[in-house]
């Protein structure tokens, strides 16, 4: 099968492309930089461009049966980011338009659990939960709008399907991702303090398997939540400590104190010209993330069965060690 992929250089994208090639598919990848001078696989073609470049998208999609749209700008800042918002929303619409015009049969979009309203956090969340319609025009709202665009574009000519994973961690994290960096910092005891929050974690390998299964099992016009297990940062640190074989001592601050310190953390970040360690967005996401993600629809339709979080943490740290990120 000929498949176009955006976001192939990202964490999920790299793992996904390796799996798709192993399954015999031919790939067309949208990349920011020029293609390698010596391509290692004759089943991979590179198209230089980005989501804001309509011409590159029109070059990407002709002749492919499926588009898998992973690319998105990420940010944990508290202010409106117009470039992020435009890329994630208008860029998705540009890609949808190009795919429809080219006669693409299936369009798979990787959304996020953050596209949904998290509260009430102690009540089960499934795909019927309301999407965000307001708030700072940042990452969360952009994913909600883009998800709506994708589902509205579903038609007999082009089936559109949405997958919305929770917080993705796991091995093969080449960059590493923000969560991968957090695991490395916790392992090395380089985070000054934790606070009583957490998220639902899911293994990148399970997300990728769900994407691959969607090619043949996904139902047109459907959204699927891909969850794993909600755990606190304290639990994550404890599990990392067990894998390390040594205690990791990081104090847990009460939430009120961290919220009080946020303005000072932001000021220090501006003075030092570094990204703030914590932002209100990041803190809210950890304090008020939903604790009961219902992914039973993905289990039924996509044969989705996430592995235990402890296994993911062990495999992730082992990979970071093998790759030289940890000693």
Q: Where are the alpha helices (DSSP H) in 162-203?
A: 178-187
| H or E stretch covering 280 | helix 280-287
Which tokens belong to 27?
Answer: 């790939």
**Angle in degrees, CA 281, 287, 292, rounded to 5:** 115
Residues 6+ apart with CB under 8 A from 232: 196, 197, 198
Q: Annotated catalytic sites, by residue?
A: 139
Q: Are strands 223-226 and 26-31 parallel, antiparallel or unpaired?
A: unpaired
Apex CA 98: angle with CA 97 and CA 102, to 5°?
Answer: 120
Q: Which among 182, 248, 205 has a CA at the least distance from the CA of 12? A: 205
Q: Determine the Cα–Cα distance for residues 82 and 43; give it in Å rounded to an integer.
A: 36
Nearest Cα neighbor of 51 from 15, 13, 16, 83 is: 83
Between helix 11-22 and helix 204-217 the angle, nearest 10°, is 50
Extract the tokens encoding 318: 């082992």
Picking from 312, 215, 301, the residue whose alpha carbon sits closest to that of residue 19 is 215
């Amino acid at each position: 099968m000929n498949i176009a992929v955006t976001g192939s250089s990202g964490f999920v994208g790299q793992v996904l492309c390796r799996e798709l090639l192993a399954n015999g598919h031919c790939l067309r990848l949208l990349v920011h930089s020029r293609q390698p001078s010596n391509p290692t696989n004759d089943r991979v073609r590179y198209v230089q461009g980005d989501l804001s470049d309509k011409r590159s998208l029109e070059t990407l999609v002709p002749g492919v049966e499926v588009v898998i749209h992973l690319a998105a700008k990420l940010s944990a800042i508290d202010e409106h980011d117009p470039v992020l918002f435009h890329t994630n929303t208008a860029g998705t619409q540009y890609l949808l338009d190009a795919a429809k015009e080219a006669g693409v049969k299936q369009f798979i979009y990787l959304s996020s659990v953050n596209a949904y309203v998290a509260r009430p956090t102690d009540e089960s969340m499934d795909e019927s939960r309301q999407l965000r319609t307001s708030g700072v025009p940042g990452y969360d709202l952009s994913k909600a709008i883009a998800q709506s665009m994708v589902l509205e574009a579903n038609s007999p000519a082009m089936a559109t399907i949405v997958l919305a994973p929770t917080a993705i961690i796991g091995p093969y994290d080449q960059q590493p991702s923000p969560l991968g960096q957090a695991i490395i910092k916790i392992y090395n005891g380089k985070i000054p303090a934790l606070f009583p929050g957490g998220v639902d974690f899911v293994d990148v390998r399970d997300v990728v398997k769900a994407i691959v299964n969607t090619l043949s099992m996904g139902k047109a016009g459907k959204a699927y939540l891909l969850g794993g297990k909600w755990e606190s940062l304290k639990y994550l640190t404890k599990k990392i400590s067990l894998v390390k074989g040594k205690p990791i001592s990081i104090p847990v601050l009460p939430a009120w104190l961290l919220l009080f310190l946020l303005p000072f953390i932001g000021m220090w970040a501006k003075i030092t010209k570094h990204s703030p360690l914590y932002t209100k967005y990041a803190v809210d996401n950890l304090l008020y993330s939903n604790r009961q993600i219902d992914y039973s629809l993905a289990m039924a339709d996509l044969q989705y069965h996430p592995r235990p979080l402890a296994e993911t943490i062990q495999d992730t740290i082992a990979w970071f060690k093998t790759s030289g990120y940890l000693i």
